Structure 1
């Protein structure tokens, strides 16, 4: 199974596979609207705007597993992201990234991370940088600001 075989649900409820993003560099992030790291939405949007034309797509996956910091519905999350940060990158339905109900995407990401870093996601805004072939290039910690990974993104584009 490859990354592109995985099915995800958009924030508006549409089922799709990640095959839609084949050939793109992906930055996959678990997000939350009521976290001290929530301002990273701005940095993620800035990266998306800066590199979208070169082939970057940021994919946001809301998650309520960390101190209940994403309690809203998909509609509320989408409205918050638009109103507060002008998010235009693809957002998806709320998922679990750890535990028995871990979404298959995050099972795949944690299992296939370089350097055997298969441990649980530590917090909101943990990031996975994926190359154009669907290979995980790097796992990036939650506290690393989006602008700090611009060079890593440029190296893949």
Structure 2
């Protein structure tokens, strides 16, 4: 699939029922790396989703969900049925956006480190390459550890 088709499909997916405009496509294209830096056009939707999560493409961001009217003190107290506060919903939505962006970045790392990249790097500068590979592994393991810790108590490493 050509990159232009992947770009349109990615924008359409993000826009949902809303019409895709030339301005939407231009904004999306502006944040994409050059096509030669993409492992494949299949990466385009992930790059767009990460950009939306980071707030870099406001035109493509989905419209805010319609929230039912609540009492004036909704940010501080739970409703009478023991529900979740608006602040907790907002915090959860932000957390999901962070996770989506992290997954998109992990996919890019996975795609870019494949092929002959490791062999070429080790041939060019074995010491620096070995150091960078250890760092990459260390942060991958730290991320995996945090992903397993669902207690919510995740202090800085």
- TM-score normalised by the chain length of structure 2: 0.22
For the pair shown, the structure with the greater C-alpha radius of gyration is 2
Higher-helix-fraction structure:
2
- TM-score normalised by the chain length of structure 1: 0.22
